[in-house]
């Protein structure tokens, strides 16, 4: 967000400026989604990117389904006029991305830090709720909540004494594994929080630059050269230290014939990499977009007659849970992958899988409300029949259901 000087809290209240990378053709889907899900304003797009302003926290931002990656915006400007300047002049123009407006960089760093700190505090609270303090029995110990009755305390004390030796043995055996688990959880929690704390001391901040060049500028500079130019400028301007392996901060730059964009990745893992999809098939963002235009409503019957790994149904069930979903496929291996995905996503009770051909579906007429599928074209998977005949059979089945629906309406 290329904001001017001001109070970071006030800027945060007004909303931070973000952008997402998005698959070509999915820009309208993401624009609608950020407006609906994040109540975003100032929504605009260029090819492959959507820009918006929102006050949403990281938990809400993680819910975006049609985006690839999410970034805090530092700069967005017109492309460099490559043909009219020399390589030395272009070198200086790239450096000006940092040197002309250092305050905007510090503003965005402050917002990034606040986002991480807020998220770390929420995670800390959730961990405390998930792992309440153990109740200790003794003279000086206090018990939160209602006090235990005297009889209950005596009974617990007796049980404790009887099982003391067994607990000591189990503790000795389990101590190492529990310690490792607790250390792992603590490290995971502190990782992002440490990044935020480090930003209080700007000179201690470590960074790396990820650069992408396309168009005319790619013929003059490689991505590595641009990254080196920007890296040197950042070190001189802010005193940051380069760290290619484990930096506190990553700077993303994309220079093309259409625009120049600079931002900070908000999450390490792309939004499109769903944690609940174990076996990948159709791109998750595309699957979600297909489901979003299918007018799925609560109580409807949704069918994917060629479900593959079940990605479309997974995305639909996550977004619209109160629906009956059925996926069918003739491939055993595809259905096994779909079953693994359903199990990983906790949706085995929401989606039914059938091993059957699209023309032999054991479904009564007028039973299906929505048919949605990523039809195979024979490139990745071999087809037993010509694609035209498969489409004709699918159309015939769909028409048959539609025809019965129309007849029932007339009656």
Is it the case that residue 178 has pLDDT exceeding 80? no
The C-alpha R_g of the chain, in whole angstroms, comes to: 28
- Alpha-carbon span 398 to 332, nearest angstrom: 24
For position 233, what pLDDT does the model report?
95
CB-CB neighbours of 35 under 10 Å: 14
Give residue 61's pLDDT band: very low, low, confident or very high (50, 70, 90): very high
For position 84, what pLDDT does the model report?
74
Share of the chain above pLDDT 90, in %: 56
Rounded average pLDDT over 166-171: 40
Give residue 357's pLDDT band: very low, low, confident or very high (50, 70, 90): confident
CA dihedral of residues 296, 299, 305, 306 (deg, nearest 10): 60
- Alpha-carbon span 42 to 196, nearest angstrom: 27
Is it the case that residue 131 has pLDDT exceeding 90? no
Rounded average pLDDT over 130-143: 48
SS3 label, residue 101: coil
Report CA torsion sign: 22, 28, 29, 34.
positive
Nearest to 269 by CA among 25, 62, 18, 23: 62
**How much is the pTM?**
0.74
Residue 6 has φ and ψ, to the nearest 5°, of 160, 175
For position 189, what pLDDT does the model report?
37
Is it the case that residue 405 has pLDDT exceeding 50? no
Give residue 86's pLDDT band: very low, low, confident or very high (50, 70, 90): confident
SS3 label, residue 370: strand
Counts for the chain of helices (H) and strands (E), in that order: 12, 12
The answer to which of 92-106, 156-170, 283-297 has the lowest mean pLDDT is 156-170
Give residue 378's pLDDT band: very low, low, confident or very high (50, 70, 90): low
Sheet holding 249-255, edge to edge: 41-46, 49-54, 16-21, 69-77, 260-265, 249-255, 206-213, 241-242
Nearest to 98 by CA among 79, 66, 74, 123: 74
Is it the case that residue 336 has pLDDT exceeding 80? yes
Is it the case that residue 359 has pLDDT exceeding 90? no
The answer to which of 197-206, 263-272, 308-317 has the lowest mean pLDDT is 197-206
DSSP class per residue in 316-338: HHHH--SSEEEEEES-HHHHHHH
CB 322 within 8 A of CB 350: no
The token pair at 143 is: 């018990």
CB-CB neighbours of 114 under 10 Å: 18
Instruction: Tell me the β-bridge partners of 301.
Output: 324
- Alpha-carbon span 333 to 187, nearest angstrom: 38
Question: How many residues comprise the chain?
Answer: 411
Per-residue pLDDT tens over the stretch 25-54: 999 999 999 999 999 999 999 999 999 999
The answer to which of 22-31, 42-51, 73-82, 386-395 has the lowest mean pLDDT is 386-395
């Amino acid at each position: 967000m290329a904001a001017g000087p001001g109070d970071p809290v006030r800027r945060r209240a007004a909303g931070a400026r973000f952008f997402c990378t998005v698959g070509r053709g999915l820009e309208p889907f993401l624009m609608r989604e950020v407006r609906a899900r994040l109540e975003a304003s100032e929504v605009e797009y260029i090819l492959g990117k959507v820009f918006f302003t929102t006050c949403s926290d990281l938990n809400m931002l993680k819910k975006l389904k049609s985006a690839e990656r999410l970034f805090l915006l530092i700069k967005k400007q017109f492309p460099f006029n490559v043909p009219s300047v020399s390589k030395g002049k272009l070198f200086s123009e790239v450096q000006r991305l940092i040197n002309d407006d250092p305050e905007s960089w510090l503003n965005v760093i402050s917002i990034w830090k606040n986002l991480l700190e807020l998220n770390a505090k929420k995670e800390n609270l959730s961990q405390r709720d998930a792992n309440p303090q153990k109740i200790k029995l003794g003279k000086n110990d206090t018990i939160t909540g209602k006090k235990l009755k005297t009889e209950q305390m005596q009974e617990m004390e007796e049980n404790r004494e009887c099982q003391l030796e067994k607990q000591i043995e189990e503790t000795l055996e389990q101590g190492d594994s529990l310690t490792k688990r607790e250390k792992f959880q603590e490290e995971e929690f502190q990782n992002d929080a440490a990044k935020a704390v480090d930003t209080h001391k700007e000179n201690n901040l470590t960074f790396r630059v990820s650069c992408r060049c396309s168009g005319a500028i790619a013929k003059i500079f490689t991505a590595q050269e641009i990254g080196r130019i920007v890296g040197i400028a950042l070190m001189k301007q802010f005193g940051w230290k380069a760290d290619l392996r484990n930096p506190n901060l990553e700077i993303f730059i994309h220079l093309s014939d259409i625009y120049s964009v600079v931002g900070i990745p908000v999450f390490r893992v792309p939004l499109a990499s769903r944690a609940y999809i174990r076996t990948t098939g159709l791109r998750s963002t595309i699957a979600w977009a297909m489901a979003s235009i299918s007018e799925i409503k609560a109580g409807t019957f949704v069918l994917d007659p060629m479900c593959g790994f079940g990605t479309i149904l997974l995305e639909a069930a996550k977004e619209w849970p109160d629906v009956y979903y059925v996926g069918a496929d003739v491939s055993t291996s595809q259905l096994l992958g779909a079953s693994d995905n359903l199990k990983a996503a906790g949706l085995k009770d929401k989606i039914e899988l059938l091993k059957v051909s699209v023309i032999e579906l054991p479904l009564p007429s007028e039973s299906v409300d929505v048919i949605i599928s990523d039809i195979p074209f024979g490139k990745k998977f071999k087809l037993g029949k010509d694609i035209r005949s498969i489409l004709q059979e699918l159309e015939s089945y769909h028409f048959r259901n539609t025809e019965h629906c129309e007849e029932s309406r007339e009656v």
